[in-house]
A and B are shown apart, each in its own frame.
Chain A
């Protein structure tokens, strides 16, 4: 059971916009920023969004992040087949002195 809750799967068609939710609590997302990672099949995770809504250089602006209260969302617009991947949210956990991850969401492009 992950500390952060994500839907196990989402799907969309090419060109569509999809969102992935990440639900936490007042002790994690409520007081810390959220990070998102993309893990393409058979590869290591890569940083996708940091500080709730910032994109590292090289990440297309089709990817956007937001946070409100104890939840966060990742939105992907103009869906492409290459976006098929697992997406993980993460936030700092004070008592752990480390981050916690959501269970991951598998995105399928139909």
Chain B
């Protein structure tokens, strides 16, 4: 059974940093591109970042470019999102998701909540 478990969320002040993790199991992690998608309270889905299987290709939404860094450790079957210079509008549930074909996310984690507030 495919499982994605996010962790690392919490309450931080504007300008602070947070590192999210996503632990994968039940599939060959190194075979899949991985993504982060977020959802602000009461709002829709927003793609945040993607990373290819070998980390050769990494992309970010304009809203997080220069502040967020995605990485992965295939040996540990883990995905990460380093979030720096956090802003109020980064408040959201952050989901990790597997990418079967470009833009098609077939498995999602349960999400981790990030709240940025002074």
Hey, which bits of chain A sit against chain B, CB under 8 A? 2, 32, 35, 37, 43-47, 50-51, 56, 88, 90-92, 96-104
Docked pose: A47 CA to B35 CA in angstroms: 14
Indicate if the CB atoms of B44 and A88 lie closer than 8 Å.
yes
> Distance (Å) between the CB of A45 and the closest chain B CB?
6
Hey, which bits of chain B sit against chain A, CB under 8 A? 35, 37, 44-47, 49-50, 59, 61-62, 95, 100-111
Contact status of A100 and B47, CB under 8 A, knowing A44-B95, A92-B103: yes
Instruction: Name B50's closest neighbour in chain A (CB-CB).
Output: A98
Classify the secondary structure of B's interface with A.
strand
Instruction: Name A91's closest neighbour in chain B (CB-CB).
Output: B103
Instruction: Name A92's closest neighbour in chain B (CB-CB).
Output: B103
Docked pose: A43 CA to B110 CA in angstroms: 7
Q: List 25 A-B contacts (CB under 8 A).
A: A32-B103, A35-B104, A44-B110, A44-B111, A45-B37, A45-B105, A47-B104, A47-B105, A47-B107, A51-B104, A56-B106, A90-B103, A92-B102, A96-B59, A96-B61, A98-B47, A98-B50, A98-B59, A98-B103, A99-B102, A101-B44, A101-B45, A101-B47, A103-B44, A104-B45
Indicate if the CB atoms of B45 and A45 lie closer than 8 Å.
yes
Contact status of A101 and B46, CB under 8 A, knowing A32-B103, A90-B103, A96-B61: yes
